Structures are given as C-alpha cells and as structure tokens.
C-alpha cells in the first residue's frame, strides 16, 4: 500500500473558518471557536485519509521573494485580524498536541513549502493530499501522486479535472496564467487577454517563449495585445509558478502521524 502525506494549507483552513464566525462579537471567543473547529477539521481529515505523515503549513509574516521582485504582489488584500494573527502560535501548539507537525519558514509562502513537500514526497513514491481551496496548486497535478482536496466543498481534484476546468493540462497552467493573470494576487498578465483568448493561444504554442517567437502566426488583434508584453508575461509566470526546491530542512520521518490516534 502507498505511503501517504497529508499537507494542510494552515492559513487557508483557519481564515475560512474564522470568517464563517463573523457573527461572534467577542474577539477572544471567536478565536477560541475557530481553534476548536480547526482541530475538529484536522481530526476529520485524518480519519478520511488515514495518513502515514501529516503537516500543517503556515505562511511567514515576512515579505517573500515575490514581494521583492513585484511589490504590488497581493496589494490590497484584506489583512488578517490582529486577534487571529496574535493567536497563530496557539493554533500551532494545539495542532502539535494533536500530533500534527507544523511548518513555517521566514520569507516563504506556505504555497512554496507545500509544493516542495508534495513534489519531494512524490519523488519518494509517497502520495500527497494537499488540503486547500487555492487552485494554484492545480499546477502540481501532472504527477498522479499529488492530489488536491477542498475540505469545505468536499471535492477532490486530479490531473483529469484540470483540462475540463481550464482547457489546458496542468503543466501548461503557469504559461496560461502568465497570459490571463491572477487577480486574487494582483498578478497582471496581458491586458485584454481573457481565458478564451489565452486558451486559443496556448493551444497553438504552450510557452511564453514559443508564443513570442511565433507571434506573427496570430491575428493582428492578438498581436496587438501581445505587443510589448513579453517581459511582463515572464514576470507573471515566475510569480504564479510554485517553487518545488525550497530547502526546508525537514525529513519525512519527522512528519510521521501516529495512526493510533485515528479512531
């Protein structure tokens, strides 16, 4: 039987649960309830996936390499409530008490740490389940040993799902997003190019370099959109592409989950 690694996008889980409790007026009580619900979610996930290894990954508070090369990255995103931000160390302590390792590295987004963990696990024939609503992880689904699961929608996603959603294969997504951008993270893409146009372009030439090397193959309208956008496309692709080679300094054995706790 395959070994399995459960990777939870910690802030994705916590912030959504915290937001669902907006009717709670007492700030401390809201945090306490979120913590309780989060622990319950981890327990349910452990029972569902019965993992050999498990880890909850958190974002760093510090600015990341993406902010350094593109200061507008995530500009305008609603900041986390101070009460929740201050309580994050308590969340980590409770998660560890419940046998879930927690990981955070200064200067790194959880997305890059999660991608690195999943890819390295796959290289060692360990199947990973990434628990997040962030569709950015779909770029990892080329490898059948990596799956994405939305805890809130109770839906799983694999490489077969990607073409039906985007019209491209998982390995083409970063080039596709380089064209259409990512409004959630303020990544620009190419002005005027939406999903339908991007799909037509990618289906002819599936990398930014190939698109611009063959720009005369496109209509004058599309050539006009692409004109002068090469560097921005490259930047956008760099920003959306997840790092899979972060020096995490953690061995898989350190993430072992004691299955005896799963009832």
- Look at residue 20 and tell me whether its pLDDT is greater than 90: yes
Q: What DSSP string runs through 115-155?
A: HHHHHHHHHTTEEEEEE-S-GGGGGGTTSTTEEEEETTTTE
- Look at residue 261 and tell me whether its pLDDT is greater than 70: no
Structure tokens at 262: 């799963």
The pLDDT value recorded for residue 242 is 98
- Look at residue 174 and tell me whether its pLDDT is greater than 70: yes
pLDDT tens, residue by residue, 116-157: 999 999 999 999 999 999 999 999 999 999 999 999 999 999
The pLDDT value recorded for residue 87 is 95
Query: Closest Cα partner for 237 from 210, 203, 219, 197?
Result: 210
- Look at residue 234 and tell me whether its pLDDT is greater than 90: yes
Q: What are the b/e assignments for 218-250, b being 16+ CB within 10 Å?
A: beeebeebbeebeebbeebbebbbbbbebebeb
The pLDDT value recorded for residue 1 is 63
User: For the chain, where are the alpha helices, taking DSSP H only?
Assistant: 10-19, 27-49, 65-69, 82-97, 110-123, 161-166, 173-180, 195-202, 208-213, 220-226, 230-240
- Look at residue 44 and tell me whether its pLDDT is greater than 50: yes
Fold (topology level) of 3-162? Rossmann fold (3.40.50)
Q: Which class does domain 167-240 fall in?
A: mainly alpha
Residue 201's DSSP bridge partners are: none
**53: part of which helix (H) or strand (E)?**
strand 53-57
8-to-80, 115, 250 alpha-carbon distances in Å: 19, 11, 16
The pLDDT value recorded for residue 78 is 83
What lies within 8 Å, CB to CB, of 231 at 6+ separation is: none
Alpha carbon distance 210, 161 (integer Å): 26
What lies within 8 Å, CB to CB, of 3 at 6+ separation is: 52, 53, 125, 126, 127
Going from N- to C-terminal start, the domains of the chain cover: 3-162, 167-240
The pLDDT value recorded for residue 157 is 97
Residue 182's DSSP bridge partners are: 187
Q: What are the b/e assignments for 46-56, b being 16+ CB within 10 Å?
A: beebebbbbbb
- Output the pTM of the full model: 0.94
Hey, do 3-162 and 167-240 end up sharing a CATH topology, with the first three levels equal?
no
Alpha carbon distance 114, 246 (integer Å): 10
């Amino acid at each position: 039987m395959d070994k399995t690694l459960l990777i939870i996008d910690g802030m994705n889980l916590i912030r959504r649960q915290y937001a669902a409790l907006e009717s709670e007026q007492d700030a401390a009580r809201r945090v306490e309830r979120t913590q309780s619900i989060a622990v319950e979610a981890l327990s349910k996930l452990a029972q569902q996936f019965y993992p050999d290894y498990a880890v909850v990954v958190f974002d760093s508070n510090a600015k990341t390499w993406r902010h350094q090369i593109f200061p507008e990255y995530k500009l305008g995103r609603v900041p986390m409530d101070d009460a929740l931000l201050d309580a994050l160390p308590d969340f980590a302590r409770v998660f560890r008490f419940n046998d879930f390792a927690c990981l955070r590295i200064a200067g790194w987004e959880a997305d890059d740490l999660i991608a690195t963990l999943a890819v390295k696990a796959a290289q060692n024939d360990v199947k990973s389940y990434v628990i997040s609503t962030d569709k950015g992880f779909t770029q990892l689904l080329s490898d059948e040993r990596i799956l994405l699961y939305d805890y809130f929608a109770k839906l799983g996603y694999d490489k077969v799902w990607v073409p039906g959603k985007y019209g491209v294969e998982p390995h083409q997504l970063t080039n596709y997003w380089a064209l259409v951008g990512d409004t959630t993270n303020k990544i620009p893409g190419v002005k005027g190019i939406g999903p339908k146009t991007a799909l037509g372009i990618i289906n002819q030439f599936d990398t930014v370099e190939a698109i611009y090397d063959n720009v005369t193959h496109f209509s004058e309208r599309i050539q006009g959109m692409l004109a002068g956008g090469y560097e921005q496309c490259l930047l956008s692709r760099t920003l959306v592409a997840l790092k899979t080679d972060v020096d995490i300094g953690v061995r898989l054995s350190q993430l072992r989950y004691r299955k005896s706790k799963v009832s």
